Chain A
């Protein structure tokens, strides 16, 4: 557990965090607008914020007590800076070696470079790297320093959208393979949705709430989904592919039910998160026949939340929550009640 009570005072900015607890497994996103204090908080965790005062404890180790601070060098953290911060006077190999030579254990420069798909550019000058290569080199360098906690400060903000698409799956692999706690600063809902397990929402130098990502996306007023409305997230395992119909069957984790999706070209993973917008889900009392919709999930109503003229219905599908945004009139017409068995028909589902 990473426990934080912190004050950072500047004449024009004030960050105040009390009793924030961040789990030290999986990915935690610090989400907020620019100026909300998320980068300052990350810097304070790293020991790179000179004005930090308060208390920070990482798995029982005290990193900050009032203004007495454990030096960054002794915190065993890895930090990926927004602009990368590769050393421009060195080659990629020298950059990686810089980290390896100071790490408590040697993870193998070539091995890590290969895993980060940068081994073909090891002897290149930093200035000659493309945006994506730079970021992969930075991540390789960070991993080689054998950290206990990985801090990512908007790792993709400097990349164009094409390169982002290339780095995102890479970060996903990293998350699955490393089993290293990661704290990610982001202002992109996409990134949070794909990578995070837990979200710390920040605004005006304060933490407004800490939620699991599944819960965070489902709130109708979620800061993550100002435009698209609530979203359900389901983890799923690839079951089988039908190349003729160009369709993949994904089985929902911990359930026998499955969803059919078009084959996704650049997704070769066997596990994924599926996202379903609440507005794309309709409710029926029994399995509809003679419909073009392929995906129907059986479950029971666990909550009905009235929001203006519409209602957000939560359907429990074998332990997963699927949200349906329907009209109040439909709620009345179907006589929906908590505990009732229903079928959620899904119009649109995508792999995030």
Chain B
């Protein structure tokens, strides 16, 4: 046990898994928005028949057992594999498994549909006329995207960010496969709960589970409330 412990509901709790979980979730969300926004825009405006294929690929983590995804991630992250070799070219030590970076990469894949789907849905609702109008007023691509598309898609952005964050907080299988259970390094809250139950520390498991429950409910409540508030009328 760690020296800095929190007392919640009279139970001593090691807070490091909580901090780690939020850190992973935050970084994953930032990564997902950075990749997800251009990707969702590209898919939303896509006319070709490959669109259906891509949509199915993005949605895969929704239905795949996390262990399957985690298994393939492990193989991809093999320190002797091509990904690691490529990383070494860029000066990285090539070690992804059982590290923070590995957790973020795996989480990003796992939470991808939660970011891309709401974004794509929002982008599909943006009327082409508004973009065309901006172009006739000499707005270049990044200009109209930032000033017209993003403000119109703020609900989708908000939903994407909160769901990606919350879903990363709630993952178990993938992070266990890729990150393992190294205290202070890769042990996230969900894994800590599993650990406590294994060792019959039901009090700690209860506290952490309650925290997760409150957090998850609050996030969903926030999403639905903001969705109402930020409704944009088009037309």
Residues of A at the B interface (CB closer than 8 Å) are 46-48, 71-74, 77-79, 81-83, 85, 87-89, 98-99, 102-103, 127, 141-142, 145, 147
Q: How far is the CB of A352 from chain B (nearest CB, A)?
A: 30
Complex Cα spacing A81 to B132, Å: 9
B24 shortest CB reach to chain A, Å = 33
CA distance A226 to B87 in the complex (A): 74
Contact check, B137 vs A145: say whether CB atoms are below 8 A apart: yes
Please, which residue of chain A has its CB at the minimum distance from the CB of B133? A85
C-alpha spacing A73/B139, complex, angstroms: 7
The answer to whether A72 and B232 touch (CB under 8 A), given A85-B127, A85-B129, is no
State in angstroms the CA–CA spacing of A88 and B231 once bound together. Answer: 11
What B residues does A46 contact at CB under 8 A? 132, 136
Distance in angstroms between the alpha carbons of A142 and B143 in the assembled complex: 18
Q: Which residue of A lies closest to B233 (CB)?
A: A127
Contact of A77 among B136, B139, B152 (CB under 8 A): B136
Is B75 an interface position by the 8 A CB rule?
no
- B49 an interface residue at 8 Å Cβ cutoff? no
Q: Is the CB of A145 within 8 A of B136?
A: yes
B234 CB contacts on chain A under 8 angstroms: 88
Query: Per-residue 0/1 for B138-171: is the Cβ within 8 Å of any A Cβ (1 yes, 0 no)?
Result: 1110010001100110000000000000000000
Residue positions of B touching A, CB distance < 8 A: 127, 129-130, 132-140, 143, 147-148, 151-152, 232-235
| Complex Cα–Cα for A98 and B130 (A) | 12
Evaluate contact between A72 and B132: CB separation under 8 angstroms: yes
Is the pair B138, A145 in contact by a Cβ cutoff of 8 Å? Answer: yes
- Bound state CA distance, A145 and B133, in angstroms? 11
A102 to B140, CA, bound (A): 10
- Contact of B147 with A98 in the complex, beta carbons under 8 Å: yes
CB distance from B150 to the nearest CB of A (A): 9
Q: Are A73 and B127 in contact (CB under 8 A)?
A: no
Residues of A within 8 A of B130 (CB): 85, 87
Establish whether residues B135 and A89, one from each chain, have CB atoms under 8 Å apart when the complex forms.
Answer: no
CA distance A79 to B127 in the complex (A): 15
In the complex, 13 of the A-B residue pairs with CB atoms within 8 angstroms, ordered by the A residue number, are A48-B136, A72-B136, A77-B136, A79-B132, A83-B127, A87-B134, A88-B232, A88-B234, A89-B151, A102-B137, A102-B139, A103-B137, A142-B136
In the complex, which residues of chain A have a beta carbon less than 8 angstroms from the beta carbon of B233?
88, 127
Q: A81-B129, A85-B130, A87-B130 are in contact. Are A72 and B135 (CB under 8 A)?
A: yes
A82, A87, A127: residue with the most chain B Cβ atoms closer than 10 Å: A87
Per the bound structure, the CA–CA distance linking A46 and B132 in Å amounts to 9
